[in-house]
């Protein structure tokens, strides 16, 4: 009976360790960039900065205006979006927590014409 109990307890610790390992310590930010008329903005430059460490990641919006940053370390972030002909979009105070995945959909306003 002791052998069965020891094996059962060992299996429980192994299972608990596997569950804890799978939780991870990363998060994700994604969204769609549009102009004020609701059309997608293609090839917009997107930069996400972890404000506590200075970590910077960059991406470009696709044909649908979508973007995604996966596996970001948890912490505070700032999102910046720019595209020629549009004003710059900046959003700070984004706090990523474990397994969170906020959707941020920037709207770019037409900039001044030179």
Kindly report, residue by residue over 73-95, the tens digit of the pLDDT.
999 999 999 999 999 999 999 99
The position carrying tokens 């970590």 is 55
Q: Which helix (H) or strand (E) holds 5?
A: helix 2-23
Please check whether residue 51 is in contact with residue 76, taking contact to mean a CB–CB distance below 8 angstroms.
Answer: yes
Least-confidence region, from 17-21, 52-56, 107-111? 17-21
At 25 the pLDDT is 87
- CB-count exposure of residue 70 (10 Å: 0-12, 13-18, 19+): exposed
Please check whether residue 23 is in contact with residue 17, taking contact to mean a CB–CB distance below 8 angstroms.
Answer: no
pTM, two decimals, is 0.76
Residue 37 has pLDDT above 90, yes or no: yes
């Amino acid at each position: 009976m002791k052998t069965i109990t020891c094996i059962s307890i060992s299996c429980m610790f192994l299972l608990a360790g596997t569950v804890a390992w799978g939780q991870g310590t990363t998060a994700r930010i994604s969204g769609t960039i549009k102009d004020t008329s609701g059309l997608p903005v293609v090839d917009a430059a997107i930069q996400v900065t972890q404000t506590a460490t200075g970590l910077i990641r960059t991406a470009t919006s696709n044909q649908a205006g979508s973007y995604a940053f996966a596996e970001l370390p948890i912490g505070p972030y700032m999102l910046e979006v720019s595209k020629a002909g549009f004003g710059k979009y900046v959003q700070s105070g984004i706090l990523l927590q474990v397994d969170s995945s906020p959707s941020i959909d920037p709207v770019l306003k037409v900039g001044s014409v030179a």
